[in-house]
Every structure is written in C-alpha cells, then in structure tokens.
Structure 1
Amino acid sequence: MIIRDCAGGVVFNLNKVFLLKNEKNEWVLPKGKIRGEQLPPETAIQRVKYETGIDAKIVSPAGETAYEFFSRTRNQAVYNKIIWYIMEACDLEYRVNFDEGFKEGNFFEIDEALNLITYSQDKSLVSLSYKRYLEYKEYEKNLLYA
C-alpha cells in the first residue's frame, strides 16, 4: 500500500465555500500531495491556487481526514491522509484547472454545498469549518471595533 500525506483547504468567502467537481463527477475540496520538504500549510495554499486559481489565506487548522482507494495505474491500494486548513479567499475570483481533470467549480452557499459534497467526511469537515470560520470573522470584527 502507498501512503500519501496531503494537505488541502476549505475555502470560504463570506457565506460560501468553494467546491470542485472531479473527473468522477464527485464534488470535492482542493487538496494535493505534500512533496519533499514542503510543509502542510504551504501545500494547502499552493494546491488551492493551482487547482482553483484562488488566492487565499489560512485562518485556522480544520482537522484531518483519510481515505483509501485502489489505483488501477499503480495496481495497488493508496491511503491518503489529508491535513485540512480553513482558508479565506481574497475575493470570489477563481479559475478551475481543467488540465487537472476538474470539470467545474464554484463558490456555493453552505447549505447547497453540503447537499452537493460527495463524501460524508467532507460534509462534516465543511460544516464544522464553517462554524469555526464564522467565529473567526466575529473575532476579527471585534478586534476591528475594539
């Protein structure tokens, strides 16, 4: 079995989160393999930019997920461990990287996103991350007016 360490972003802008539709028609979050000496936060920021064209900053760690699948090209099982970060997009501009096999992507209202997301662990991740994101925005607002 191949074990891969990955990192990704749950990217928010106000009350919306960004989702990608992959080549299997699954709605997923941007993520990628951590390469070399790269740190997980660096990977998350770079993969979000590469897959979505979004400039985003990390707000907070979001947690970890893992999944296993069988790779036909490698003819063996692959186990992905993903470290997630809550991220905030600078604006609603994006550019889906179709060369990576993504079919579409967009910012979705949270309720709509939760209905679209394919995997239950990703739904939980987005739901919990949104609550933490709202807490961050409230904290940020309080600092501004303090």
Structure 2
Amino acid sequence: MIERNCAGGVVFFGEKVFLLKNEKEEWTFPKGVIRSNEVPADVALRRVMEEGGVAAEIITIAGKTSYEFYSVNRRKPVCNKIIWFIMSTDSDEFDISEKEKFQDGGFFYIEHAFQLVTYTQDKALLDMSYKKYKELSV
C-alpha cells in the first residue's frame, strides 16, 4: 500500500464554508499531497488557492482523517492521511481550477454544505470545524 501524507483546509466566510465538486461528483474540501520538506500548513494554504482561488488564513488545526482507495493507474491501494486546518477568508470570491479537474464549487451556507458533502467523515470534520471556528471567531 502506498501511504501519502496530505494537508487541506476547511475555509469559512462568515456562515458559509468552501466546497469543491471533483470529477467523481464528490463534494469535498481542498487538499493536496505534502512533498518532501514541505510544511503541512503551507501545503493546505497553497491547495486552497490553487484549487479554489481562495486566499485564506489559518485559524487553528482541525484534526486528521484518512481514507483508502485503489489506484487504477498505480495498480495498488493508496492510503491518504490528511491533516486539516480551519481557515477563514475575508471574501467569498473564488475561482475553481479546471486544471485540478474540479467541476463546481463555492461558498455554501453550513446547513446546505452538510447536505452536499459526500463522505460521513467530511461531514463530521465540517461539524467540528464549524464549532471551533465559531468559538474562536467571537
């Protein structure tokens, strides 16, 4: 099995959160692989900008998740281990990157985002991150 360390961001703008819809029609958060000598926080901020065109700042760490899938290209199972950061932005402007194979995205009110997010662990991540965001934004 290939293990990859990744970093991503749960980005809030007031009562909204940023989501992306990938080529598999899954709604998720921006994230990417951490290459050697890269700092996880820098990777998360970079991926939020590259994938969604969102300039954000980190508030705190949200936690970690992981998932496994079978890579057809590599012909091996892959385990992505992701460290997540809670982020905020001053604008709801975004620019979805077609180069990164995203079909849609944007800022969604939290209630709607819960309905859109594809995976249960991402729903839990959103719930926990939003609670922390609200506590720290007071």
Matching of residue 30 in structure 1 with residue 22 in structure 2: no
Q: Deviation digits for residues 45-101 of structure 1, max 9, x if unmatched?
A: 001000000000000000000000000000000000000000001211100001111
The ranges of structure 1 where at least 4 consecutive aligned residues each deviate by more than 3 angstroms after the TM superposition are none
Aligned to 2:73: 73
Percent identity (aligned): 51
Shift of 1:36: 1.6
SS at match of 2:32: strand
Aligned to 2:118: 118
Q: Which amino acid aligns with 2:111?
A: D
Q: Which amino acid aligns with 2:127?
A: S
Matching of residue 47 in structure 1 with residue 58 in structure 2: no
Shift of 1:127: 0.7
Q: Structure 2: give runs of 5+ residues left out of the alignment.
A: none
What is the correspondence of 1:1-146 to structure 2 with a 5 Å cutoff? 1-138=1-138
> TM-score when scaled to structure 1?
0.93
Question: For 2:35 and 2:89, how far apart are their aligned partners in 1?
Answer: 24
- The size of the alignment, in residue pairs, is 138
SS at match of 2:73: coil
Q: Greater Rg, structure 1 or structure 2?
A: 1
Shift of 1:30: 0.2
Q: Structure 1: give runs of 5+ residues left out of the alignment.
A: 139-146
